A = this chain, B = another copy of it.
Amino acid sequence: MKVLLVDDHAILLDGIKSLLSQEASIDVIGEANSAEQALELLKTKAVDLLITDFNLPGMDGLSLVRLVKKISPNIKIIVLSMHDETHLVKEILREGVEGYVLKNDSHIELKLAIEYVREGKIYLSNNINRIIINSLNFPDEDRLLTDREREILKLIAKEYSNKDIAEQLFISERTVETHRKNIFRKTKTGTLVGLIKFAYANNLI
């Protein structure tokens, strides 16, 4: 199985390579520190499985997954991320990846995931399964904010004032204020600082 590893931390890359080298059937044929680099490598090398981080410099893991799934739909993908926020996990899973393992998980989970994926199955680590099941009880949680609200939040995070946002989106300042109000209510944050922290925690920045 030809594997391409993507992570911005060289030492993690080295470590995983070392772990996987114990398995005869796994062949790490490439490593990349960024999504862009990974895409370059994919042009020249045949790859069966892509194991990628979510947080990457430049293009993020989600975009990489989308691109790869479009360009080479038969390349399997396992996401190896530190993020366990419900909506983020769901967003990635929606892209049809074959596996999701947390960096908190043991390497055994990673190897299991690779096994499963090789056999054409899908593997979610224990912790991820728990998150998914949990979220069944709170089906709304992942759609906390509407697209528009997310858009506004991102602009807030870009240090735009309400006025700036209104101009940018061709809507009234009042509307922006309402969105803002709703965002605060939905995220249960009372202050701008809390909101920005929320945005960080939910990878909106």
Contact = CB atoms under 8 A, between A and B. Distances in A.
A102 B14 CA distance: 13
Given A15-B19, A16-B15, A156-B193, A10 B200 contact: no
A10 B104 contact: yes
Contacts of A104: 8-11
B190 A105 contact: no
A4 B200 CA distance: 31
Interface in A1-49: 8-12, 14-16, 18-19, 22
A107 B16 CA distance: 11
Contacts of A106: 10-11, 14
A158 B9 CA distance: 30
Contacts of A12: 9, 11-12, 15, 103
A157 interface: yes
A137 B15 CA distance: 35
Interface of A: 8-12, 14-16, 18-19, 22, 80, 82, 101-107, 110, 156-159, 161, 190-194, 196-197, 200, 205
In the A-B complex, the 7 residue pairs with the smallest Cβ-Cβ separation, listed nearest first, are A15-B15, A14-B107, A9-B103, A18-B18, A196-B196, A159-B191, A159-B193
